[in-house]
Structure 1
Amino acid sequence: MCPSTDQLKYLDLSSFSMKDMSPEPLRVLLEKVAHTLQTLVLEFCEITESQLNAISPALGHCSKLKTFSFCGNQIPLTALKNLLSHTASLPLEQAKYPAPLESFDEILWGFWTEINHMKFDQVRKELMQLVKDIKPVHDIQIYSYDCVLHLKHTDFIAGNPVAIW
């Protein structure tokens, strides 16, 4: 509601729990600052799949966004794919996403257990195909607690997808 938010360049909502909130205020804010926002950090915000799906289209219009971090949120692969599709054309210099829930054996007491490398390998294959299809203009980093998957847009220019662990 602040009148100066239309010039917002940096927004860090790390560890601000959104699990019981409506995504509408964030969606409206993202639409309002789509032409000025350069950094958006939504780490460990407990954003749900439905909330993410509600804000992803607005996020996709943030044409000045250079840094985006969404690590630490527990989302399924379908939500991650949707988010990647909306952010693919953004001029991001740094983009960090969480490994999807399908990469883990289980979640205990609200926290991920160690990543299951066989499951993560299957997720990696699906994400590599998506990246090949959407041809993002930025590199994508998928983070878990014990590994990082880098999907580089340049790896797909020649049609030979390569993942770097």
Structure 2
Amino acid sequence: MKDMSPEPLRVLLEKVAPTLETLVLEFCEITESQLNAISPALGHCSQLKTFSFCGNQIPLTALKNLLSHTGSLPLEQAKYPSPLESFDEILCGFWTEINHMKFDQVQKELMQLVKDIRPVYNIQIYSYDYVLHLKHTDFIAGNPVAIRKAGDY
């Protein structure tokens, strides 16, 4: 989608907002500007239960914006990509291995944001190394004891 206008998707989301229950936008190469254009429409999807945005390379500011729009939705499952600030660098269009110190700092910022939006909210932040092995860290905002890290899957 990186070369497409976000307008058709934004319009579609606005039209289906009252009934949309599942939305998977994985590995779509959605840019920050495209995401910022569709995020307000996502925030109106009042029946959205499952949302996945994994595999898209976005900065922390865009992820925070997305979370602020989707955080009040009745999501039962929400998957977001680890922001670019969690990685050392990007090589050949793929993320390199996650930097755990950077990821921990990003996680703290996201936890506080989500806690401010909705105190009990399960989200998953996913990261991919250059060979696309899935890794994830689950956390429940507002409950630091519940933070746990999982190994490679």
The CA distance in 1 between the partners of 2:23 and 2:68, in whole Å, is: 17
Aligned to 1:23: 6
Structure 1: unaligned runs, 5 residues or longer: 1-17
The answer to whether 1:83 aligns with 2:66 is: yes
Deviation readout 1:65-124 (Å, 9 max, x if unpaired):
111000000000000000000001111111000000000001011100010001101101
8 A Cα contact 2:2 2:28, kept in partner = yes
Q: 3-state SS of the aligned residue for 2:121? A: coil
Task: After TM superposition, give the deviation of residue 153 of structure 1 in Å.
Answer: 17
CA 1:119/1:154 → structure 2, altered by over 3 Å: closer, same or farther? closer
In our comparison, the structure showing a higher alpha carbon Rg is 1
The answer to whether 1:51 aligns with 2:50 is: no
Task: After TM superposition, give the deviation of residue 139 of structure 1 in Å.
Answer: 1.1
Deviation readout 1:33-76 (Å, 9 max, x if unpaired):
00111110000000000100000000000011111000000000
What is the root-mean-square deviation in Å for CA atoms of aligned residues?
4.2
Q: 3-state SS of the aligned residue for 1:63? A: coil
8 A Cα contact 1:141 1:151, kept in partner = no
8 A Cα contact 1:135 1:153, kept in partner = no
Q: 3-state SS of the aligned residue for 2:125? A: strand
8 A Cα contact 1:141 1:149, kept in partner = no
The CA distance in 2 between the partners of 1:149 and 1:158, in whole Å, is: 27
The CA distance in 1 between the partners of 2:94 and 2:108, in whole Å, is: 25
The CA distance in 2 between the partners of 1:20 and 1:73, in whole Å, is: 14
Task: Give me the TM-score of the superposition, normalised by structure 1.
Answer: 0.79
Structure 2: unaligned runs, 5 residues or longer: 148-152
8 A Cα contact 1:77 1:100, kept in partner = yes
The CA distance in 1 between the partners of 2:141 and 2:59, in whole Å, is: 29
The CA distance in 2 between the partners of 1:52 and 1:108, in whole Å, is: 23
Q: Which moved more, 1:99-108 or 1:135-144?
A: 135-144
Task: After TM superposition, give the deviation of residue 158 of structure 1 in Å.
Answer: 10
Aligned to 1:149: 132
8 A Cα contact 1:42 1:71, kept in partner = yes
CA 1:115/1:34 → structure 2, altered by over 3 Å: closer, same or farther? same
The CA distance in 2 between the partners of 1:118 and 1:154, in whole Å, is: 13
Identity, % of aligned pairs? Answer: 92
